[in-house]
Every structure is written in C-alpha cells, then in structure tokens.
Homo-oligomer: A and B are copies of this chain.
C-alpha cells in the first residue's frame, strides 16, 4: 500500500500548535511580528503574499505587509528593510521574489539582518546551513524534512536523489538530507542517464518545474517520492513535477500536489518567525 503523505494535515496540526504557542507568548508580552515586502503587482506574488498574511492572522502573528510600487529604487527598498531590521517588534522579514529587473536581488537579500531572514535566503544563512550549523533554513526543504520526520522515514545511509539544483530548494535540500546522514546525489538538466540515477533513489525529491516530468520508470519500488512542483497543465489545473497517478503504483510514499509540500512551506515560515520571537522572550 502506497502512503500518501498528507502535507495539509501536518501543516494544520503544526499551525494549531503554533497558534497555542503564540497565545502563551502574548500572555508574556511578546507578539511575533512578520514584515512582508511586496514590490510591484505580479499576480502570483500577490497571491503568495495574501496567503502568508492569512496564515499569519490565523496563528496570531502580527503581519505587516508593505505593498511598494514597482518603480521603487533599490536605495528606498534598502531603507525600508533597514527600518524592519531595527524594529524590535518584527521577528521575521521577507522580501517577496522576484523583484523588478532594476533591483539587484542579491544586494537586497544581503541587506536583511540574517537573524530575521525567515526565508533563509541570505548568503550567511546559506553558509550556516552549508557548514552544518543552520540559523534560518529555506522553508520548502525545511518543510520536507518535517514531512519525512512525521512519516518516520529512515534517512541515515539511504540514497537520496534530488532533481533540480535551485538555491531555494535543491541545494538546501541536499544539505539537510546530508545532515541526516543520507548519501545525497544532486541531479539536474545536464545530468546524463537521469532515469537510471533517479531509479536508484530510496528518497527522490523532484524540484525541476516541469509538469509530470517524473514517470514510473524513474522510481524504484517502495521509494519515497517528494514532489515540489507547482505547474499548470493545459486546462489550468495545478499539477506536480511527478506523474502522481502512475508513480503512486510503485512508490512506497508519495506527496500529492496540491496538499503535499505546499502547505508545509508557509508553515515553516511561521515557525521560524515564532522561533525568533521565542529567542527574544528567552533573552528577556
């Protein structure tokens, strides 16, 4: 029997626990605060930001969303970030990507205080993860680790193959699995014999951004298959990078799309914001 890994259910459970923790924090006088900076009017970004706002509200986080004009200068955006870096009521800062072309994303990310960088994209946070002493971790791979933990997946010594090497999913995923003692293979568009390499995986993470790219012959019988993809098919339906119906015939565990990895990402964003507030509370 293939187990469908229910990210929605785990996210709900975790968010409910976070809600209770925030209630207790408020009694101690601290409200976790999250600042979200949205530049321009990209519709997908607007949806993501609204979802973050809504989850924050549900949990009781104080969210500030700054909707900034697409024409804002890098310098002005920088000053906004500085203001939140210094604001004691703000425990997490997130700049919604992508940014307009006239703004240098890397320079902006460098401007966020790494200790408030709840997306985990600051190079210092990437470096801390890389050396095995993480401060803040990119939320999608972090959420996947929680899912693997929830389903008691054995990671140590196992073959993990990651398809896709983005800075925000593939690479940090590799480091987190390595920290759990997996043997980790990073595969990508230039990989030769990808199907055979994937078919050796005990744990297969797919984050390549191509609908139904991974079919049955990529998957070893009983493997754990994690699908990070969010694509639209010809009918506008949301589909993953994995051909779910076919692959679930061979996989031991598989995440659906939607309701798999997606809900975990936003949950980890909340978790990291609250964790920062928790630290502030412990230091008072």
Chain A residues engaging chain B, CB cutoff 8 angstroms: 106, 122-133, 156-159, 165, 167, 171, 174-175, 178, 181, 183-188, 190-192, 197
The distance from the CB of A81 to the nearest CB of chain B, in whole angstroms, is 18
Contact A167 B106 (CB under 8 A): no
Known A-B contacts A128-B123, A130-B167; A186 and B178 likewise in contact (beta carbons under 8 Å): yes
Query: How long is the Cα–Cα vector from A131 to B171 in the complex, in angstroms?
Result: 8
- In the complex, the answer to whether A127 meets B132 with C-beta atoms within 8 Å is no
Determine how many copies of this chain the complex contains. Answer: 2
Given the contacts A127-B123, A185-B183, A190 and B132 also touching, CB distance less than 8 Å: no
Contact A190 B126 (CB under 8 A): no
C-alpha spacing A178/B130, complex, angstroms: 14
A195 to B197, CA, bound (A): 16
Measured CB to CB, the closest approach of chain B to A200, in angstroms, equals 9
Docked-complex contact B127 and A157, CB < 8 angstroms: no
Query: Which of chain B's residues has its CB closest to A181's CB?
Result: B190
Known contacts A106-B133, A123-B131, A167-B132, A183 near B188 by CB under 8 Å = yes
- Closest B residue, CB atoms, query A185: B185
- In the bound complex, residues from chain B placing their C-beta under 8 Å from that of A157 are 190-192
In whole Å, how far is A117's beta carbon from the nearest beta carbon of chain B? 11
State the CA gap A190–B106 with chains docked (Å).
Answer: 35
> Measured between C-beta atoms, what is the minimum distance from A192 to chain B in Å?
4
